[in-house]
């Protein structure tokens, strides 16, 4: 155990549907070496792990060998932290119809170092707590605004996994109980159906259809509008695009007000494409939060944007799991 404390690095694996990106990271969040392979193209998980280990061995040697590695963390879809497994992940050919003990498989191939995995949003929360804007915080909520809306909840300095390991699905609290939009989860009215990238694009189409005012967005094919288009138009001062952000931020603020009643966090930390819009999205979130939160919580929580570089944030988040085990 004492020797483990002296090991200076952890491995992070950001396991996405397309790419698997590896980083070897020190305690300050500096990525010492990195590599990647394609996630696709392996029918059997054994072949995937073989390819991973081949790629890893090169960068492990670069930093001084396996004896410098404390542990490995994996951020992956459908990850069960308690069991170290990936379970029925629709986008992974070798795990779409089964439960894969991925943590154990990597550990056995890497000299029995501890390996743990969790989902992307939880990894992002650990990344912020270890290297980012949430350093030193014991109670905060990470909200990732991407294709979906993910979350990682930290209470008493620990990630909230719940009874089954799947806690923290805040993208799927119900925000509209009547006539709510259909969500990817099969239910209606979820936060994600409005505040994900696809949700924002849908809001844009709805606004353009219902209203008559001019907008830069009218120059685009409505069916192809993305949340990035909305962001660019809003950045140019387009008032309709700004209102789309206000609508989105308003709902996020309402949702955060409910989350405060649950865990009363010190901060909400936002990550992802939309969070990059800065004040355009953060101002409506804060305004709406102050309007909707219980008086007892008003003015207590900070609203922060992730300080981790977008390109390496996922690997850093995954690596942060390694310091926790």
Which residues contact a second copy by CB under 8 A?
Answer: 138-139, 153, 155-156, 158, 160-170, 172-177, 185-187, 254, 257-259, 261-266, 292, 294-297, 300-301
Q: Report the phi/psi class of residue 44: left, alpha or beta, with left for phi > 0 and alpha for psi in -120 to 50.
A: beta
Backbone angles phi, psi at 27, to 5 degrees: -70, -15
Residue 23 or 199: which CB sits closer to a second copy? 199
Residue 249 or 265: which CB sits closer to a second copy? 265
Residue 38 or 187: which CB sits closer to a second copy? 187
Least Å distance, CB 2 to a second copy, is 27
Cβ distance 253 to 292 under 8 Å?
A: yes
SS3 143: strand
Residue 186 or 237: which CB sits closer to a second copy? 186
CA atoms of 311 and 18, how far apart (whole Å): 15
Listing DSSP states for 30-92 in one string gives: -EEEEEEEESSS-SSHHHHHHHHHHHHHHHHHHTT-GGGEEEEEEE-TTEETTTTEEE--TT-
Residue 182 or 294: which CB sits closer to a second copy? 294
Least Å distance, CB 254 to a second copy, is 7
Residue 58 or 294: which CB sits closer to a second copy? 294
Which distant-in-sequence residues (6+ apart) come within 8 Å of 143 by Cβ?
A: 121, 149, 150, 151, 170, 252, 256, 268, 269, 270, 271
Residue 12 or 265: which CB sits closer to a second copy? 265
Least Å distance, CB 289 to a second copy, is 12
Least Å distance, CB 221 to a second copy, is 32
Q: Give the E-state strand segments of the chain in sequence order.
A: 9-15, 19-25, 31-38, 69-75, 79-80, 85-87, 99-100, 115-118, 140-145, 149-155, 158-159, 267-271, 302-305
Q: Report the phi/psi class of residue 151: left, alpha or beta, with left for phi > 0 and alpha for psi in -120 to 50.
A: beta
Q: Which two tokens stand for residue 30?
A: 């500096």
Least Å distance, CB 193 to a second copy, is 13
Least Å distance, CB 285 to a second copy, is 16
Least Å distance, CB 160 to a second copy, is 6
């Amino acid at each position: 155990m004492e020797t483990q404390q002296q090991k200076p690095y952890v491995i992070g694996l950001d396991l996405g549907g397309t790419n698997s990106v590896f980083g070897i990271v020190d305690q300050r969040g500096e990525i010492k070496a990195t590599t990647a392979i394609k996630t696709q193209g392996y029918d059997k998980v054994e072949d995937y792990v073989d390819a991973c280990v081949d790629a890893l061995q090169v960068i492990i040697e670069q930093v001084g060998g396996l004896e410098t590695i404390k542990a490995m963390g994996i951020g992956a879809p459908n990850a069960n932290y308690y069991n170290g497994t990936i379970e029925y992940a629709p986008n992974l050919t070798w795990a779409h119809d089964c439960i894969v003990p991925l943590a154990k498989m990597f550990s056995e191939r890497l000299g029995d170092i501890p390996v743990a995995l969790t989902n992307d949003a939880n990894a992002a929360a650990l990344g912020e707590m270890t290297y980012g804007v949430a350093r030193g915080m014991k109670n905060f909520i990470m909200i990732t605004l991407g294709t979906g809306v993910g979350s990682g909840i930290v209470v008493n300095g620990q990630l909230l996994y719940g009874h089954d390991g799947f806690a923290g699905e805040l993208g799927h609290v119900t925000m509209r109980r009547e006539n709510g939009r259909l969500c990817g989860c099969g239910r209606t009215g979820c936060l994600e159906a409005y505040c994900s990238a696809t949700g924002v694009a849908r809001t844009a189409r709805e606004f353009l259809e219902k209203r008559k005012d001019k907008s830069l967005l009218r120059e685009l094919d409505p069916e192809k509008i993305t949340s990035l288009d909305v962001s660019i138009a809003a950045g140019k001062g387009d008032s309709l695009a700004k209102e789309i952000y206000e609508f989105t931020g308003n709902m996020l603020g309402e949702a955060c007000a409910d989350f405060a009643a649950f865990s009363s966090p010190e901060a909400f930390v936002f990550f992802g494409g939309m969070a990059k819009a800065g004040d355009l999205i953060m101002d409506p979130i804060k305004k709406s939060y102050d309007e909707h939160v219980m008086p007892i919580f008003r003015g207590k929580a900070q609203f922060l944007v992730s300080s981790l570089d977008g390109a390496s944030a996922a690997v850093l988040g995954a690596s942060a799991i390694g310091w926790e085990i």
